[in-house]
Structure 1
Amino acid sequence: MKLYHYTSIETLALILKHKTIRFSRLDRVDDPDEYSFKEDGITPAHYCYVSCWTKNDNENLPQWYMYGDSTHGVRIELDSDMFVIEGKNIAPHFFNDNFRSVYRMMAMPILSCGLLRDIQYIDDIGVIKNRVFHDLVSQKAIGFKEIGIYKNKDWAFQQECRFLFYMFPLLDNGRVDVNYVFNNNISPKLPYIDVPIKEDCLNQIQVMLGPKVTEAEETIVSSLMQMFLNRSDYSYSYYSGKL
């Protein structure tokens, strides 16, 4: 299955150079309703990292303006299995002992619902709070499978899907202590994490130029693709008038 992501030429350069996709912490996304709710000082969005895409291969003008650098960016196309997944872990060679010791956090196992999920658009995202927080006998629990997959219907034009994974902060001694973390509202510190892409998937990336890309910007995209992919077979937006 193909997925599509609207972004800037600068971000394309970083994707091609580092062979990674950036996952942002959920409280850094553009819809404040997704990260505004909390309970007892716990903000669930702090534990969730997302990369936002769409399955819709038809061009979306609002997406071009909002995320494609005001139509001066690009839309990339990649296979949905772009990440290395073994068992229930994403890129295990990346989230290794060195990662955990440096950043003091660990990736939670992928939930049974999978790494890629469709956004559900609802009337009142506030009702999700009751699905996220659970009271156990002696402690609080968070329903992570309910985090990061709901948005208000006002955003339905995006037809969004997301890759999601969840990170848990470690104590200074490297141990996991769920009660201590939640009771003290300790969250992962990184605002984003760059996750490696399968090299064969990256080599098959398709790039579409935004509707108002200039000659200079097109030259930059062509040079980037030639440098990192040894090809420059990009396409033009329907709205550019060049088709």
Structure 2
Amino acid sequence: MRIYHYTNLESLALILENQTIRFNRLDKVDDLEEGNAESLGVKFCKYVFVSCWTETAEESIPLWKMYGGDNGGIRISLEQEMFKEYLISNLKIGKIQSQGTIISKIPPQDMVNSNFFIFPMLDYKNDLFYRHIKYVDDIYAFTKDAIQITNIQGGSGDMHMKMKPFGYYKNKRWEFQEEVRFVLYVLPMNPMVEGGNSGFSSIVIQSLLGNKSLPFHYYDMSLKDDAFNNLEITLSPSATEAQKLIVQALIDKYAPNAKLKESALGKVVRLK
């Protein structure tokens, strides 16, 4: 299935050169209400990273304006299952040694890092990684009780957390976006380093309650080696000839099999 992402020329150049898609922190997105959602004093949106798309093939004037800029923006289209997969055998994380082989969308060096823990690691077949946004009247109603801690003794306890509400709900005022998104959750410590407890480890609980910062503000996920073979790039309705030449030059260099298309709105809309 094809999905669509509106952006600017600078971002296009980085996507093509690095063959990655950037996931931005949820507390840095343009929806301030969503970015400020929290629970139990934990500003959990700083641990949520998203890449925002739509499944709607028809071009959107608001999305052109908001994310493509006044002119010169582009819309890219890729297959939903675009991300690179890593075949990992006998992975060791802290005191935990896995047996056999797993397929992960997170590279092994980021899975074993003691300063953070990224998930989900596996497939698209659930709505934790890839989801259709639900538009509601009150985001806070779905996030306020998402995190609960019980049986706290000696600096440790049982944490009960529903991460899915963060990055899943937006106010109905954003319904025009018809958004789908990829979502990564990044804990500020790796629970496996304490032995892989059935619940969250004490260091993770303490890190979350203290709103510990992560060592990065965005995360770039690698695309499949052949992802650009199915790439379509649509020019802004207000694209100039010079901008068209720039996009074509980028395609020639990094994605020769990509298709470049004129906007269907080019003769009927002037973006101002």
TM-score (normalizing by structure 1): 0.88
RMSD over equivalenced CA pairs, Å: 2.3
Tell me the SS of whatever aligns to 2:70: coil
Asked if structure 2 preserves the Cα contact closer than 8 Å seen for 1:95 and 1:107, the reply is: yes
**CA offset digits 1:35-62 (Å, max 9, x no partner):** 2233453101011110000000010000
**CA offset digits 1:160-196 (Å, max 9, x no partner):** 001001111238xx66622221232213231111110
How many residues of Structure 1 are paired with residues of Structure 2 in the alignment? 236
Q: Which residue matches 1:106?
A: 117
User: Which residue type is aligned with residue 238 of structure 2?
Assistant: K
Pairing partner for 1:202 from 212, 228, 231: 228
5 Å matches for 1:31-46? Answer: 31-46=31-46
Q: Which residue matches 2:207?
A: 181
Alignment of 1:127 onto 2:138: no
Structure 1 window deviating more from structure 2 (41-50 vs 19-28): it is 41-50
User: Which residue type is aligned with residue 176 of structure 2?
Assistant: F
Alignment of 1:146 onto 2:165: yes
Q: 1:70: how far off?
A: 2.4
Asked if structure 1 preserves the Cα contact closer than 8 Å seen for 2:230 and 2:258, the reply is: no
Structure 1 stretches of 5 or more lacking a match? Answer: none
Pairing partner for 1:222 from 227, 233, 248: 248
In 2, Cα distance between the equivalents of 1:166 and 1:89?
15
Q: 1:230 to 1:108 in 2, by over 3 A?
A: closer
Alignment of 1:213 onto 2:224: no
In 1, Cα distance between the equivalents of 2:38 and 2:139?
13
Structure 2 stretches of 5 or more lacking a match? Answer: 87-101, 195-200
Q: 1:218 to 1:50 in 2, by over 3 A?
A: same
User: Which residue type is aligned with residue 144 of structure 2?
Assistant: N
Structure 1 window deviating more from structure 2 (182-191 vs 15-24): it is 182-191
Q: Which residue matches 1:48?
A: 48
**CA offset digits 1:200-238 (Å, max 9, x no partner):** 122221000000011111110000000112256300111
Tell me the SS of whatever aligns to 1:238: coil
In 2, Cα distance between the equivalents of 1:39 and 1:204?
41
TM-score (normalizing by structure 2): 0.79
User: Which residue type is aligned with residue 149 of structure 1?
Assistant: Y
In 1, Cα distance between the equivalents of 2:256 and 2:209?
52
**CA offset digits 1:6-48 (Å, max 9, x no partner):** 0001111100000000000111110011122334531010111
Percent identity for Structure 1 against Structure 2 = 35
Structure 1 window deviating more from structure 2 (64-73 vs 178-187): it is 178-187
